[in-house]
Amino acid sequence: MKRTKHKDINGWLIIDKPQDMGSTDVVNITRYLLDANKNGHTGTLDPFATGVLPIAFGEATKLIPFITDGDKTYEFTLKFGAFTNTDDIEGEVTKSGGRIPSKEEILSVLPSFVGEIEQIPPMYSAIKINGERAYKLARSGQTVDMPPRTVQIKSLEFLEQIAPDSFRFRVGCSKGTYVRTLGRDIALKLNTFGHLTALRRTKCGFFCIDDTILLENLKNMVYESAWQDSLLPVKTPLRDIAALAISAEDAVKLRLGQGLSAQKYGVLNSTESLMAAYDQDCLTALVRIDGKKISPIRVFNLT
């Protein structure tokens, strides 16, 4: 059976992921809508959560690890008084009747969560335990012993009280942070129970909520020129990385995996260990400056 030829599309679509949809579903829908050959997301966003989900197309998929490793920002609503087995509204209530802390009490404990902290991820997570996803083990009734992990909380802000028992927060954190667990632990610190009723990612690596497009709006774009206006260039997340202008001849060498002379380009023993090499304005490669040599890490086939 002959395979239908799809389009070679390169760049980024930053989707404002709707609630109750998985990240893989967004990948599949956007690939279908753009009739693209290849795409992928930069790390799972829970179906319960909404917000920034960068989708890489074509050559942009080579940069996914750099986005996945970046810091994230979330806004979340924490409701006090009950625990659930998923630490959010999708789970079953396991404990209830907890007291509702005051704003002053909440503000007093937030500083203790800033910096390097240890978390025990929720049982209903995608972490693999002996080769199986933790949430699959939990749903089958098995007891899941979740290993603790160390994460970095860069900032934690109180935003507002939206109901007698519910408060909004903003957190800036490293990859691997479970915001549901953070909410649970804030409640425990206050000697009560709590779970998330809303979770929204507002920043993922270099991309923020202002870069996003609603999936529904993308579905309604009839003409290719319309969604192309929303497609960001492959080089977008490299804007904070130093640029290195190279010749067309050396661009060919990098694409073949060959190294270049650091002295030729004035970066001998440069303090910039990672740079983005460009032939004219065309991204050629991510390169490492290692003493006297410029070595390609990722090469791009763009025109």
**C-alpha span between 101 and 196 (Å, rounded):** 15
Residue 79's contacts (CB-CB under 8 Å, 6 or more residues apart) are 163, 165, 166, 194, 195, 196, 197
Closest by CA position to 299, among listed 258, 269, 247: 258
By the 8 A CB rule, do 176 and 149 touch? yes
By the 8 A CB rule, do 56 and 66 touch? no
The answer to whether residue 46 is catalytic is yes
CA–CA–CA angle 81, 181, 191 (5° rounding): 40
Q: Exactly one of 16, 46, 87, 185 is catalytic; which is it?
A: 46
By the 8 A CB rule, do 26 and 14 touch? no
- Length of the chain (residues): 303
Catalytic amino acids? Answer: 46
